Amino acid sequence: MIVLGFSVGHDKGAALIKDGEVLIAITQERLSRVKNDGAYQGGIIPLDSILYCLNEYKYTLDDVDLIVYSTTEVTDTTYEQLQKFWNLPRKKLIHIPHHLAHAYSAFFSSGMEESAIIVADASGSILNSDNQTKNWYPEEYEKVLSGQQDLTEGISLYHLTKSGYTEVYKKWIISPPDINTNECTSLGTMYSEGSVQLVYEPRTQTWPAGKLMGLASYANQDIVDEAPKFAHWTDSTQTDICIPNNTIYPNVTWRSDFFSRACVAGIYQREQERISVMLAELAKKLTNSNNVCTAGGSFLNCNSNEQILKSGLYDGCFFLPASDDSGIPLGCAWYAYQQVADIENTKMISPYLGKTYSEENFLKALEDFPNCEATYFPNFDDLVEFISDKLINNRVIGWYQGGSEIGPRALGNRSIIASPIPHWMKDHINHDIKFREWYRPFAPAVLFEHQSEIFELDTYSPHMLVTSQVKPEWWDRIPAVTHIDKSARYQSVTKENNPRFHQIISSFYDKTGVPVLLNTSFNGPREPIVETPHDAIRALHNCYLNYLVIGNYVIVQNR
């Protein structure tokens, strides 16, 4: 059985499953080189992503048994667009709501038998007359008709098994979400509005949540603790939550001084963490499950995930690497597969779902860069020895191996790596290579067998989605990956989950006694993570890297 899932909207993409195995998945931005591709386009299907998945396995849509998609667009013209390219029977195409796709993406990537699912983001599928979500929620749609106001998914809780799901809680919010009207809003809207308020940059016209999370660590904790709480339960039984859409301390803006901005960012972050735990409590109450999976962009917030772990509410916690909308195609594909087959066995996802490019592809790309010189290492061990020496000498390396990771985090296949030992390395990479704010931290990729020596939290975290305090004796040993609040968003690396990445970290450890490398995404400013060898070689120049490793090749630029 072969099924295809895809998404329409920002961070759109596609995924293919055959006989219960995810074969391939890609986000459109990696191919188009347009960050968050799909936003403000009016619902254009991810044609490049669909063809990327089909062509890699030489399939056509005739080979596909079922296609499932999800959209966050006001008007849904997906079927009509597909008909321009394929004569597709209508019954072969199914629509599912955005939050349900998030839920399926998390659960079927976890390897669990059953689980509570928490979905929280800015907004999901829109409930109106031009969108098929109305067929899923007819009673709520009647309220929309009578109120003459569109609604969108704000928060959703589910219980999932391999045979089906139960929706146990749904919070609808006004679409588009209002601000400063004292109405309830979504977790993602609250946090994104904090980003607009505190870290908006006129030059780039961006306000990513990651900036707010980094800024929050510079807050004065006493000020944060003393600030009033904003989110609250709406009833005495604590079965409904309200996140007010009012701006927190609106007089503090991105024009304010750094300290004031950091303190208000700290309050937004505190609310983010409080709400995440409140939702975990509610999901526990409504499902009585011992497991929890999370999805939606709100759960790229590693501090929130740490608090869910520490709450002790669940024996098993799974945080999806593609928690944002890049994971929606996975959820659509899994829903499709559940419709055509009995699902017996699943396993925790490997995030390396992009296709592997051939040596021929690399050599052809190299022809476009005559000022670059490549050296081939027949023995990968020799390459590792060479590169680990360069890392010890504080060189910064582009590390490109195998298929790309799904999701926004680089996990050792499309990474920029460096030594975590020099104090100045963080500033160097922020200022000279990534061209981003000085206060933003970098993540440590750590050998799993040594992580308990370094971090207070010893949870296996292969997808870089949990923070932990760094033990005091390591603060000065890995300062480039220890944040101002002595925390770190670590990635657990094993021989099994990424053997080549494990090998380069191991070589560095053998020579330094430090089982950690600085790991950040391989991309330049305001561009997506590199996908092809051509993208990587171009970034070698644009990011001022010292070396680039692609497979068994080491590339340098003759400046």
Nearest to 299 by CA among 265, 325, 261, 267: 325
Strand order in the sheet with 21-27: 21-27, 13-18, 2-8, 66-71, 93-95
Question: Residue 204 pLDDT more than 60?
Answer: no
Give the pLDDT score at 56: 98
Q: Distance between CA atoms of 99 and 452, rounded to whole angstroms?
A: 35
Residues 104-122: tens digit of each pLDDT: 999 999 999 999 999 999 9
**Averaged confidence pLDDT in the chain:** 95
User: Can you list the alpha helix ranges (DSSP code H) found in 36-77?
Assistant: 47-56
pLDDT score, position 525? 82
199-209 core/surface letters (b: 16 or more CB in 10 A; e: else): beeeeeeebbb
CA dist 101 → 7, 65, 97, 170, 509 (Å): 9, 18, 6, 14, 41
Average pLDDT of the residues in 319-343: 97
Q: Six-digit token pair at 239?
A: 């079965």
CA distances from 346 to 6, 22, 103, 112 (A): 21, 10, 15, 7
- Higher confidence at residue 285 or residue 541? 285
* pLDDT confidence of residue 202: 57
User: How does residue 40 score in pLDDT terms, banded at 50, 70 and 90?
Assistant: confident
Strand partners of residue 518: 418, 444
Distance CA 184, CA 179 (A): 9
Average pLDDT for 448-474: 97
On the question of pLDDT at 559 being above 90, the answer is no
Helix %, strand %, coil % for the chain, to 5?
Answer: 35, 25, 40
pLDDT in tens, 186-201: 999 999 999 999 997 6
CB 279 within 8 A of CB 271: no
Write down all domains in the chain, each with its CATH number in brackets.
Answer: 2-340 (3.30.420.40), 359-557 (3.90.870.20)
Helix (H, G, I), strand (E, B) or coil at 116: strand
Question: Beta strand pairing status for 164-174 and 151-161?
Answer: antiparallel
User: pLDDT tens-digit profile of 472-495?
Assistant: 999 999 999 999 999 999 999 999
3-state secondary structure of 201: strand
Cα–Cα dist 400/521, whole Å = 11
Whole-angstrom distance, CA of residue 191 vs CA of residue 198: 11
- Range of lowest pLDDT (60-64, 241-245, 542-546): 542-546
Q: Please state which of the ranges 225-229, 292-296, 308-312, 343-347 shows the lowest mean pLDDT.
A: 343-347
Residue 346 pLDDT > 70: yes
Q: Average pLDDT in the 411-420 region?
A: 98
- Torsion angle defined by CA atoms of residues 143, 148, 154 and 159, in that order, rounded to the nearest 10 degrees: 20
Q: Could you tell me whether strands 487-493 and 316-319 are parallel, antiparallel, or unpaired per DSSP bridges?
A: unpaired
Q: What pLDDT is recorded for position 131?
A: 86
CA dist 265 and 256 (Å) reads 12
Residue 253 to residues 113, 141, 230, 249, 270: CA-CA distances in angstroms?
A: 46, 38, 19, 9, 18
Average pLDDT over residues 385-403: 98
Sign of the alpha-carbon torsion through 263, 267, 268, 272: positive
Q: What is the pTM of this model?
A: 0.96
Q: Which two tokens stand for residue 126?
A: 């829109």
Which three-class secondary structure state does DSSP give residue 265?
helix
How many whole angstroms from its chain centre is CA 177?
A: 22
Average of per-residue pLDDT across 339-358:
95
CA–CA separation, 66 and 82 (whole Å): 14
Q: What percent of the chain has pLDDT over 70?
A: 99
* DSSP per residue, 223-250: HHHHSPP--EESSTT---EEEE-SPSST
- What's the pLDDT at 352? 98
Instruction: Work out the pLDDT band at 129, boundaries 50, 70, 90.
Output: confident
Cα separation, 279 vs 285, in Å, equals 10
Mean pLDDT of 218-225: 97
Strand partners, 158: 117, 167
Q: If you count them, how many residues does the chain have?
A: 559
Residue bearing tokens 């996908």: 531
Range 165-194 average pLDDT = 93
177 pLDDT band (50/70/90 cuts)? confident
Q: Residue 149 — pLDDT band, cuts 50, 70, 90?
A: confident
Tokens of 394: 């504080």
| pLDDT band with cut points at 50, 70 and 90 for residue 143 | confident
Asked if the model's pLDDT at residue 207 lies above 90, the reply is: no
